[in-house]
């Protein structure tokens, strides 16, 4: 505030709505805060005044604002100074993820791709789904800076295409697109799509005429704008769990005759990253674990390219073995694989050596992290830690209340 606070009576006021009369205030006399006259920092022991400096040991969001410092000299004259304080959260770890969409190219602040600068300023960037290379996101604010680089791989598509004349179940990826072909030329028919729940006339249905959904007769997809009909295909742009079920399509021909077709739709969650970890036991066994999130997962293993036992999420190996072990995980809508380098266990008496043994990741192919078609969205997320302040003023301790 001032170099020699003992020369002045000080008054620090926070301006609220640009009004200096009613804002909270704190008075400082003889270089010490007068807590009985400090509603600005009342009951905040982390605020103190030392040598004319207001010290806030733990800044909070509410410390942002415009402040006015009034100095009253011994002759009664007054001067004032103003300062704007802006509190910002520093940048913690930066995470970059990829999401594919269906509109035509891979969806990723400041950005570089293979060292070449891209568009700045946004937390996401759209790229062609076929792009590959190293993409970096640099995130900064006035108090911190961080950067993360990931390897881009061309996006696979999680769009699902099913037909009402197929005999197998239709598997759809949760939160991705399902294209459900009813008939090739929908203009020739009046269509009725019903979800069979109780097999009664009250089951939800949707009528389609002249290749258009009749929303007044569509309690199956009523008020769900992501469902449309185009060229005889029901398009669900974002599949949900409730889309699972048994469906019946009834076609009413121009002569009044009817035919029907049934289809079972099963919604499964695709999965993202696959993690592989190792535990060495005292019995001379190295147990390797594979984990991922998703529905109806199937596991398979290879060691140095040779297949091992399939079907389990863990596998036991001799503790002396080394090489590259791969865990492949799949379900009906997605597939991913993780490969790590095995290192022999340090000894048969070692009780528990965990994932520190997974020293080198040689391959990591995670196709399920991309989703749904031709446009991928690469997004950056910054995890924020406790807040810092760009310009500090300080505060008094509880013992100053005695003044």
pTM: 0.49
Interior CA angle at 282 toward 278 and 286, to 5°? 30
Domain positions in the chain are 5-88+390-402, 91-156+374-384, 160-268, 275-368
Residue 273 is predicted with a pLDDT of 79
Same topology between domain 5-88+390-402 and domain 275-368: yes
What's phi and psi for 30, nearest 5 deg?
55, 35
CATH says 5-88+390-402 is which class? mainly beta
pLDDT at 267: 94
Side by side, the strands of the sheet bearing 227-230 are: 160-163, 178-181, 233-236, 227-230
Which pLDDT value is given to residue 172? 93
According to CATH, the topology of domain 160-268 is Immunoglobulin-like (2.60.40)
Q: Which CATH class is domain 275-368?
A: mainly beta
pLDDT at site 310 = 65
* Rounded Cα distance, 340 and 324, in Å: 6
Q: Please report the pLDDT score of residue 142 as a whole number.
A: 84
Element (H, E) at 83: strand 78-85
Number of Cα atoms under 13 Å in the Cβ half of residue 285:
8
CA 324 distance to own-chain centroid: 31
Give the Å distances, CA to CA, from 53 to 2, 27, 195: 7, 13, 71
Low-confidence ranges of the chain (pLDDT < 70): 18-21, 91-108, 119-121, 128-130, 154-157, 310, 347-403
């Amino acid at each position: 505030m001032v170099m020699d606070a003992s020369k002045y009576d000080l008054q620090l006021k926070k301006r609220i709505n640009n009004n200096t009369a009613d804002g909270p205030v704190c008075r400082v006399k003889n270089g010490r805060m007068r807590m009985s006259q400090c509603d600005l920092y009342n009951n905040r022991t982390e605020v103190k005044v030392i040598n004319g400096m207001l010290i806030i040991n733990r800044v909070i969001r509410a410390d942002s604002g415009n402040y006015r410092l009034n100095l009253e000299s011994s002759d009664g004259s007054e001067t004032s100074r103003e300062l704007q304080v802006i509190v910002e959260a520093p940048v913690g770890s930066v995470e970059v993820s990829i999401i594919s969409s269906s509109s035509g190219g891979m969806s990723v602040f400041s950005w570089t791709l293979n060292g070449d600068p891209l568009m700045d300023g946004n937390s996401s960037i759209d790229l062609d789904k076929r792009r590959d290379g190293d993409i970096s996101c640099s995130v900064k604010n006035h108090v911190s800076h961080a950067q993360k680089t990931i390897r881009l791989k061309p996006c696979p598509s999680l769009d699902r295409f099913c037909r009402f004349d197929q005999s197998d179940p239709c598997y759809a990826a949760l939160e991705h697109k399902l294209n459900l072909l009813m008939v090739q030329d929908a203009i020739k028919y009046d269509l009725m799509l019903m979800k069979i729940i109780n097999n009664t006339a009250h089951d939800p249905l949707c009528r389609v005429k002249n290749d258009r959904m009749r929303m007044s007769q569509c309690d199956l997809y009523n008020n769900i704008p992501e469902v449309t009909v185009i060229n005889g295909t029901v398009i669900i742009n974002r599949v949900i769990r409730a889309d699972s079920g048994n469906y019946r399509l009834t076609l009413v021909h121009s002569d009044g005759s009817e035919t029907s077709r049934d289809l079972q739709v099963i919604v499964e969650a695709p999965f993202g990253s696959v993690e592989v970890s190792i535990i060495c036991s005292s019995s001379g066994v190295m147990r390797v674990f594979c984990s991922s999130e998703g529905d109806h997962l199937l596991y398979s293993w290879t060691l140095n390219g040779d297949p091992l036992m399939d079907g389990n999420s863990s596998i036991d190996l001799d503790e002396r073995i080394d090489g590259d072990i791969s865990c492949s995980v799949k379900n009906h809508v997605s597939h991913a694989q993780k490969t790590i380098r095995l290192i022999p266990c340090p000894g048969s008496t070692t009780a528990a050596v965990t994932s520190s043994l997974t020293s080198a990741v040689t391959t990591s192919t995670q196709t399920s992290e991309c989703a749904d078609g031709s446009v991928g969205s690469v997004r950056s997320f910054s995890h924020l830690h406790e807040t810092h302040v760009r310009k500090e003023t300080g505060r008094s301790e509880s013992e100053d209340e005695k003044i």
